[in-house]
């Protein structure tokens, strides 16, 4: 008889756990999460802010780039002249030209390395600014449209939840309002 009562209690406990478990599932279904995704690479390639940053960098570094190109041309010219005329030169003159060529090559390599480092640092600064503005726009969209989660990096994103185009449009609108109001801070 004891086993009969125990079985009734176990059955009642199972029934209650299943019932409450199903109620939890129903509650979760009723409050479905809104999820979206944004392709950060597209933002950095296609946004007006990213294009403006790229243009700014090109303008900022164009003089140094031109100077490096001129230095490379001079280095090539000296090297070609050395190859052409080196055999007929006096040993002392040839050694002096080789030293000059070597010194110019070292200067060129150093300036080229410094240029790349400076350009990379500035590019990272500019892109960080673009991403910061994009993140603010994404947060505004999330709040306005009641998203629970917006991811930026994913292996796969269904086009149904991709809001990158919407973010690009909002960034463009934000960018144009900044250019028409230069005193406005971002």
The answer to whether 29 and 112 have CB atoms below 8 angstroms apart is no
End-to-end, the C-alpha distance of the chain in Å comes to 78
- CATH 3.30.910.20 for the 33-180 domain, yes or no: yes
105-125: per-residue pLDDT in tens?
Answer: 999 999 999 999 999 999 999
Which one, of 114, 121, 136, lies nearest residue 186 by Cα?
Answer: 136
Q: Residue 147: CA atoms inside 13 Å, Cβ hemisphere, count?
A: 18
Which one, of 131, 166, 125, 128, lies nearest residue 36 by Cα?
Answer: 166
68-109: per-residue pLDDT in tens?
Answer: 999 999 999 988 888 888 778 888 888 888 999 999 999 999
Mean pLDDT of 131-150: 95
Q: Give 95's contacts (C-beta < 8 A, 6+ positions apart).
A: none
Residue 30 — very low, low, confident or very high, per pLDDT cuts 50/70/90?
low
d(CA 186, CA 176): 12
Residue 184 — very low, low, confident or very high, per pLDDT cuts 50/70/90?
very low
Which one, of 100, 101, 169, 167, lies nearest residue 140 by Cα?
Answer: 167
């Amino acid at each position: 008889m004891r086993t009969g009562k125990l079985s009734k209690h176990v059955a009642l406990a199972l029934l209650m756990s299943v019932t409450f478990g199903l109620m939890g599932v129903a509650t979760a279904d009723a409050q479905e999460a809104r999820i979206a995704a944004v392709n950060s690479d597209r933002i950095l390639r296609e946004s007006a802010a990213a294009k403006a940053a790229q243009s700014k960098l090109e303008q900022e570094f164009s003089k140094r780039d031109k100077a490096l190109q001129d230095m490379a041309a001079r280095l090539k010219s000296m090297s070609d002249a050395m190859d052409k005329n080196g055999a007929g030169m006096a040993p002392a003159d040839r050694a002096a030209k080789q030293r000059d060529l070597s010194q110019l090559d070292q200067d060129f390599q150093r300036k080229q390395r410094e240029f790349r480092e400076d350009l990379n640092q500035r590019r990272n600064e500019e892109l960080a600014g673009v991403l910061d503005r994009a993140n603010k726009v994404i947060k505004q969209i999330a709040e306005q449209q009641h998203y629970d989660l917006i991811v930026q990096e994913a292996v796969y994103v269904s086009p149904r939840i991709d809001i990158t185009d919407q973010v690009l449009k909002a960034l463009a609108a934000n960018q144009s309002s900044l250019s028409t109001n230069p005193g406005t801070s971002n």
